[in-house]
Chain A
Amino acid sequence: MSKVSARPPFSGSASPALVLAVLLVIFVAATVYVVVARLYPAPPPISQDAVQVDHQYNLTLYVTGAAFVLAQLGLAWAVFRFRDRGQKASHIRGNVALEILWTSVTAIAFVGLGILGRNAWAGARFAPAAPGAIQIEVTTNQFVYTFRYPGPDGKFGRLDPSLVSAPAGNPLGIDPNDPAGRDDIVVASLTVPVNRPIELLVRSQDVVHNFFVRELRLQQDAVPGMVIPVHFTADRIGTYEIVCTQLCGLGHYKMHGLLNVVSESDYDAFLKREALPQ
């Protein structure tokens, strides 16, 4: 059986407590500085849904940021204040009132954030696209995005996987016998008119890919076997990058597309230019 000595010897030096506390303070200060100074910002949003996401992001940042600073500095203070100076530790088993208080406060804060976060998500995802939204199909395969517009008839032609042949100029496998497909426009980048609701039909031919435009705060996996609708309304003319965020094979890192948000007239010109001669 172990020998019992009365108390541990006074462990002496204050330096570990001080160093640890100072390191924690420096680390909190550096983090707060980078965040407040916005050294590495996300790009400006280009849709109302994206603004909503940013709003929720900022709200989350305030709540978790306060918790982060208080908890880390509280830790720094505790390790410094209660370092071994030969004092006797107080025998505290707990404090039910305090525990109920901080459990309730965190429950309200975190679950509250979750409930408020519903709005940004619901706006983008619960409702279908606005009536009259322009439908564009996004097809992914290793390691390419292909976009299809239904053409003047407003209908996509039937697809047949056995007809897929990029070398033969039919990367999507559009069935030539389906009249609806004859006017379909197939292009390598996504062009949309500004301030018009767009509905993307996201699909994949081979493995799981992803469609991510940071400025839209819109990210959607492209899953083979599924056609997943997502919608957005871009309110700023410009060219934005589309990247794949779902590991899809050796070319994952260079799977890349462009989103051109253009004026209504430029959009009409684009459709005319790309339309196949009937």
Chain B
Amino acid sequence: MSSKPRIAHAATHTQNNFLRRFVFSTDHKIIGLQYFFLAFAAVTIGTILSLLIRFHLVWPAAHLPFVAGGIMTPEQYLALVTMHGTIMVFFVLTTAPQSAFGNYFLPLQIGAPDMAFPRLNMLSFWLTLLAFLVMLSAFLVPGGAPISGWTAYPPLSGLGEITGPGEGMGQSLWVASVLIFCVASLLGSINFISTTIDMRAPGMTLTRMPLTVWAWFVTAILSLLAFAVLLAGGILLVLDRVAGTSFFLPAGLVVSGEVQTHDGGSPLLWQHLFWFFGHPEVYIAILPGMGVVSHILANFSRKPVFGYRAMAFAICAIGFLGFLVWGHHMFVSGMNPYSGLTFSLLTVSIGVPSAVKTFNWLGTLWGGRIQFHSPMLFAIGFVSFFVTGGLSGIFLAQPAVDTELHATYYVVAHFHIVMGVAAIFGIFAATYYWFPKMFGQRMSEPLAKLHFWVTFVGVYCIFMPMHFVGIAGGIRRYADSTGATYLAALEPLHRFMTIAAFITAAAQLIFFYNLFRSLKSGERGVENPWLATTLEWTTASPPPADNFAGCFPSVYRGPYEYSVPGAAQDFLPQHLAPEKLPSGGEERNHAR
């Protein structure tokens, strides 16, 4: 690709108008930061909701000052559960790893001046923000937020207020928000895919792309295919709710003594459509984290990623298989049992590329010179959580075993560790790693380490006991433990988890403080503080509007050339031509 049109295009960024530069910006870096702070707001709200959930589970009769009537009702509890899940999945786990960091760093890492479609990029962000505001507004309408969970199974979600509080206007706003979010994600994914295919610097072949870029690229393909289906499903749900159609609603429904007029729909159809999106969504949340972790482990072990090609292939394999396993959410749904077996075998197969990733991460650490900077600690934490949460999934992947564990806290523990916490650790690792690039300042390292230790221990204290609550029969989404006699025995564990949750949440204040303090007055960073190899470290911090100040890089080698024998320095940047390398000889065996 010639560099002329890129520079011409990049010139549009240099306008000095504040609104144009920082609010209605088409600069992928500003948009990345906008997504970052949106996710930041969302994770704050989502965490507060989770603390209310944990508090209520342990002290259900406590008087809360901001709850109408003082004591939280079951429907208020379910509204918290629904909104916590929805906000975290869509506006944090989808938004931060992919839309925020992907937006900021994908063009930088491939040597491009911006995303392929900058205006579309801006539209994606503003639609996401709109979706977030619509979602939050569900709290404010009569009846409150919906109570049907983030999975919104009809008929509970399809009939309006008659099925419960929050199922009227609250559920309508929920669906509207999800639909807007789908459109935003579709536009975003088109942008990511086009940019990766079309805008790579000369020499940036596919096998020289950082694994972060591979991860964002495959995640974008997953988003394109998954959100399209959720968009369709959501539209059908809206039609069932407002237009009297019956896509998900069968004949003969009697709700609260009233016969409904729907006829011919299938509640299972929604479950298929939802999980066709919902399972790939897990990988949309986690794949970018895997990319970031591979990247950081290599950087701070001062070693190449072990088995780069296998790692890139594993990302693709996980992405592909991720579309074939949605039925494992439906083993007890009434789906044909033979389908259950098929989905089961496909699901355990995902364990194979996942194990390849884990082994290769260990292989990357092995023989390294490991430097325990805060991004590295969070990356290692990610690996530990991924192992724990991945292996607990092997139980749930088998329909017979799932029959015992389905819908218990075991499932909640599993997906929080592997999808929630691991992905969040990926976000933390990325934040600490790239903060000096994004803001030209460094975050306080002692505070970052303190944040890591408390969070790492705290997370295991919250979620390991949760597995045991599930094995002992604790059912998720229960507003209190009076529903069955055996639940009372689990209260000590719940109390322990709640205390751990409050301590862990408090530790996040250290992160908040560190982030905002460093934004205002962090130590001035150097351009390449981690002595890294990839292109984002070849430009100023923060990068200029066109990313490379008109001087676009060419790429001469793979992304993880650390500790190359015979080289004078322990890292060989991607952009340095062989003849420009410091004396000491060019690396050997660099045929890539």
A126 cross-chain contacts in B, Cβ below 8 A: 337-338
Per a CB cutoff under 8 Å, which of A27, A107, A118, A142 touches B352? A107
Q: Contact: B74 with A251, CB < 8 Å?
A: yes
Tally B residues with Cβ within 8 Å of A. 128
Per a CB cutoff under 8 Å, which of B163, B398, B570 touches A207? B163
Interface residue stretch chosen among A17-25, A177-185, A263-271: A17-25
Q: Does A208 contact B (CB under 8 A)?
A: yes
A244 to B332, CA, bound (A): 12
Q: Contact: B391 with A250, CB < 8 Å?
A: no
Given A67-B391, A250-B165, CB of A218 within 8 Å of CB of B403: yes
Closest-CB distance, B370 to chain A (whole angstroms): 5
Q: Contact: B337 with A161, CB < 8 Å?
A: no
Give the one of A24, A141, A221 with max B CB within 10 A. Answer: A221
Q: Does A56 contact B (CB under 8 A)?
A: yes
Q: Which of A57-86 contact B (CB under 8 A)?
A: 57, 60-61, 63-64, 67-68, 71-72, 74-75, 78-79, 82-86
Give the one of B334, B359, B490, B568 with max A CB within 10 A. Answer: B334
A75 to B293, CA, bound (A): 14
Closest-CB distance, A75 to chain B (whole angstroms): 6
Q: Contact: A42 with B471, CB < 8 Å?
A: yes
Per a CB cutoff under 8 Å, which of B366, B395, B400 touches A82? B366
A225 to B397, CA, bound (A): 27
Q: Does A36 contact B (CB under 8 A)?
A: no
Tally A residues with Cβ within 8 Å of B. 116
Per a CB cutoff under 8 Å, which of B147, B265, B309, B365 touches A79? B365
Q: Does A111 contact B (CB under 8 A)?
A: yes
B78 cross-chain contacts in A, Cβ below 8 A: 247, 250, 252
Q: Contact: B348 with A111, CB < 8 Å?
A: yes
A60 cross-chain contacts in B, Cβ below 8 A: 394-395, 398, 401
Q: Contact: A52 with B400, CB < 8 Å?
A: yes
Closest chain B residue, CB of each to CB of A167: B257
Q: Which of B299-318 contact A (CB under 8 A)?
A: 301-304, 306-310
Closest chain A residue, CB of each to CB of B373: A11
Contact with A along B336-364 (1 / 0, CB 8 A): 01101100110111011001101110110
Closest-CB distance, B22 to chain A (whole angstroms): 27
Interface of B toward A, CB cutoff 8 Å = 73-75, 78, 147-149, 151, 153-156, 163-165, 250-257, 259, 265-268, 301-304, 306-310, 332-334, 337-338, 340-341, 344-345, 347-349, 351-352, 355-356, 358-360, 362-363, 365-373, 377, 380, 383-384, 387-388, 391-392, 394-395, 397-401, 403-404, 406-408, 449, 453, 456-457, 460, 464, 468-469, 471-473, 475-480, 482-486, 490, 493, 527-528, 530-531, 537-538, 562-565, 568-570, 573, 575-576, 582
Contacts A89-B303, A99-B360, A111-B345 aside, 20 further interface pairs with beta carbons under 8 A come to A16-B372, A53-B400, A67-B355, A68-B388, A71-B362, A71-B387, A71-B391, A91-B304, A94-B306, A98-B359, A110-B349, A117-B398, A117-B401, A121-B340, A166-B257, A205-B254, A208-B267, A244-B475, A247-B147, A250-B75
